[in-house]
Structure 1
Amino acid sequence: MKFMAAKPVILASGSPRRKELLGLLGFPFEIILSQVSENLAIGDMDRKQYVEALAKEKTMAVAQLHDSAIVIGSDTIVSLDGRIYPKPEDAEEAKRFLQELSNNTHTVTTGVGIYVNGEVVTFSVETKVTFRKLDMALIDAYVASGDPMDKAGAYGIQTAGALFVDKIEGDYHAVVGLPIAKLAAYLQGLGLISIGGPVH
């Protein structure tokens, strides 16, 4: 099954995971990194407002230079008890994150921005992930692999981080980094993609 896009599509992310998921829709797209800092001040925003604001910033940063395209940006955060767990700054922080997430249920919130014709539409998806109790030997070995360093919350559910997960409630692909089913529905609803032929 392949979709056709009404305009050129740009993914405003260097994430190989988002690239792979968007590739499931079958249309060609270009990757252009947004260069937007992920340290947006959260202020009075809730989790969904925060990730949607960040996704919008990433989307607009690329769209300003490519305004005739469909630009898709995304951001993912991990949170537990009101605290946000970004990408760890070093191995020690990664270990601390995983120790705190151990034996707890945290929330993964992924925001998506879609730019077309001068406007950005945003949405977000929340998924609950429960970790089993992790021992330090497992945490140390995982952090030593380098895998958690570019991932919110210091783990990747699609890599060895899957070994930590006891239960997931919600959209698995949103935890990976892009809620592809909901994104496809939005793109179809906006008339930006269609199955099997160009959009008229």
Structure 2
Amino acid sequence: MLYLASQSPRRRQLLEQIGVEFQVVDVNVPEQRALAEAPREYVSRVAREKALAGYAALNDPQAVVLGADTEVVLDDEVFGKPADAADAAAMLRRLSARVHEVISTIWLVGRKGEWSDTSLSRVRMPELDDAVIAAYIATGEPFGKAGAYAIQGHGAKLVEHLDGSHSGVMGLPVFETARLLRAHGVIRHG
């Protein structure tokens, strides 16, 4: 049985979209970047810790747990979820008229081992003036989202160009996830 170690409605939606049967396991993993930890290593570590925490919580040797983490990175700085409207506005001003990277890593953990895959996407936003930023923040959408935007919602209007995985920017790279699940016998096809 596959378990998703995430409360993210977007991750659940993306797994359901590709027809994967799963249950959710609740985990609480601190998302704090270590000093001098590279962004890609940080994202991978957090995703792995989520999967390991989920596996440990289940006490079921037949369980296979999927953990994921997605972060927005600009100039080696990881943009997590905004604390408030001012923080969201500051993030969006920094991303304005720039290309940033979105790193989305998945880990699969079970009794037979641990496996991972990563999706790297590059996103360009147009120049965002204060009125556009304020209107977007007023939607409430930036909260709980890495980098203060949701590409699957109103935030799509802020994305000028995407080179990479749309679902990876949402929080779960579907291609990489399906490939990992197939390779380790969790799903047969798809």
What is the TM-score with the length of structure 2 in the denominator? 0.94
How many percent identity over aligned positions?
37
1:62 to 54, 62, 70: 54
Alpha-carbon offset, residue 135 of structure 1: 1.3
Corresponding residue SS for 1:87: coil
Aligned partner of 1:4 in structure 2 is none
Residue of 29, 32, 35 corresponding to 2:28: 35
Match of 2:106 in 1: 112
Shift of 1:127: 0.2
The 5-angstrom pairing of residues 147-186 of structure 1 reads 147-186=141-180
Hey, what's the Cα distance between the residues in 2 that align with 1:54 and 1:71?
Answer: 14
Are residues 1:48 and 2:62 paired? Answer: no
Output the CA distance in 2 between the equivalents of 1:28 and 1:193: 9
With normalisation by structure 1, the TM-score equals 0.89
Corresponding residue for residue 118 of structure 2: 124
CA drift of 1:118 comes to 5.5
The alignment covers a number of residue pairs equal to 188
Q: Specify which structure has the bigger relative contact order, considering alpha-carbon pairs within 8 angstroms and separated by 6 or more residues.
A: 1
Q: CA offsets, 1:19-78, max 9 Å, x none?
A: 11111232321112211111242x343222111100000111110022421111101110
CA distance in 1, matches of 2:33, 2:129: 33
Contact 1:51 1:124 in 2 (8 A): no
Deviations, residues 68-89 of structure 1 (Å, cap 9, x unaligned): 2111110111011111110011
Q: Secondary structure at the match of 2:117?
A: strand
Determine the structure 2 residue equivalent to 1:5: none
Residue 22, structure 1, aligned to residue 22, structure 2: no
The answer to which of 16-25 and 125-134 deviates more is: 16-25
Aligned to 2:84: 90
Unaligned runs of 5+ in 1: 1-7
